Amino acid sequence: MGDEPPTSEELMKAMVNFTRVSTVWASDEVILKWSEVSRRFVISEALREALEEAGTEPAFSAAVEPLFVFKEFLLANP
């Protein structure tokens, strides 16, 4: 954990690696919740990029919404 935030590419690599491992070892509930988390983050990133190109920023709620889904993932039963 450095001072620099991870790049989108680094985050994507981490998600792909976690997906590989969880597909083999995680419960069905965890896999389904992880699938939802990863979709939400991809959608959120696409929205952020589109709004950035349009010269505006997403609403705060749109930016943090994937984090609430991630919290649900963390609380999913193994």
Domain map of the chain by residue range?
8-75
Look at the block and give the residue holding tokens 């699938």: 35
Report which residue type is found at 65: E
Query: Distance between CA atoms of 49 and 57, rounded to whole angstroms?
Result: 9
What is the Cα–Cα distance from 24 to 46, expressed in whole angstroms?
28
Rounded to two decimals, what is the model's pTM? 0.62
Model confidence pLDDT, tens digit, residues 35-58:
888 888 888 888 888 888 888 876
Q: Hey, what are 10's tokens?
A: 């680094």
What's the pLDDT tens digit per position in 9-37?
887 788 788 888 888 888 888 888 888 88
